[in-house]
Amino acid sequence: MPRRTTDYRGLTEQSRVRLLHAVQRAPARCLKDLAAETDVHINTARDHLRVLESEGFVFSAPVDTGKRGRPPMGYWPVQRSEHSPAAQERVEEAGVRGDLLRRIAPETTLDSALSQTAQHQLDVLYEHLDDAGMDPVIDSENLTVQVKPCIYQTLLDADCPEVCSVHAKLVRQQLEQVDGPLELRRLHPFTTQHSCLLVLDSTEEPSPKVQESDTGVSGINADQSDTNLESFARAALQRVVEPTAGPSCQLPTGK
């Protein structure tokens, strides 16, 4: 199937994922520092950051160094859509498409019990995951999102320990780009060899709709450290690839 013009390129290169992770971990750094940390040639890093910025993952702005001359450009992750014209356009288009679908096919769309802002948050999240090629299936009643195939699996197999953290932060940021009650609560990486489960929470609900025992697989809180998220994902992948290996994922998962 041909790629749509809105499909992401930014997440298809391992070096871009490393650069995005570096920006997420320590915002406001300049090109030279990001290139050095990620071991990417400065010209290649410049091109990769340009792609990430054009797709609404990062934005750049001058950094005041207190020195004379032209200030260098620093890079930040896009956490609010108003920080990036590309992100703003995606948010607006996702909302328009979601509203249109709810009008013409209400029986096939999101849970009508959700507030309009929550529906728009799911519209934005769905568009992000779909454009990334992750085939999202949203259960709006239970606030879960099944994604498959996991586009990060090949990066996990490589020496790229930050990809699960990048994934979690991107999902959180997509939800934050629209004011609303939904937030990412837990990740269930590799529920099968080629799929993962995202569990959301709503501040409009008195308690989470989905408990750990409901999913049938172990998960991890989305705000865990980069190291814990990646270690958990590796163990989960090993569990589904080698089902006779016995229990794994022994990291603390609750708050």
**DSSP-assigned letters across all residues of 163-208:** HHHHHHHHHHHHHHTS-SSEEEEEEEEEEETTEEEEEEEETTSSS-
Contact partners, residue 64, CB within 8 Å, separation at least 6:
71
Which backbone phi and psi does 9 adopt, to 5 degrees?
-105, -20
The pLDDT confidence band at residue 10, using thresholds 50, 70 and 90, is: low
The count of other CB atoms within 10 Å of the CB of residue 197 is 23
- Domains of the chain as residue ranges with CATH: 14-77 (1.10.10.10), 83-245 (no CATH)
Is the distance from CB of 50 to CB of 43 less than 8 angstroms? Answer: no
Q: Are 150 and 202 in contact (CB under 8 A)?
A: no
Strands (E), 97-251: 137-139, 144-147, 182-192, 195-202, 220-221
Averaged confidence pLDDT in the chain: 82
**Span 105-158, pLDDT tens digits:** 776 565 567 888 999 999 999 999 998 888 899 988 889 999 986 666 666 565
Note the pLDDT tens digit of each residue in 211-243: 655 666 788 998 888 888 888 888 887 888 765
Q: How many CB atoms lie within 10 A of CB 9?
A: 13
pTM of the model: 0.82
Of 188, 193, 183, 243, nearest in space to 212 by CA: 188
Q: Which residue has the higher pLDDT, 64 or 38?
A: 38
> Of 225 and 24, which is predicted with more confidence?
24
Structure-model confidence comparison of residues 6 and 23, the more confident one: 23
Report residue 47's pLDDT band, with 50, 70 and 90 as the boundaries: very high
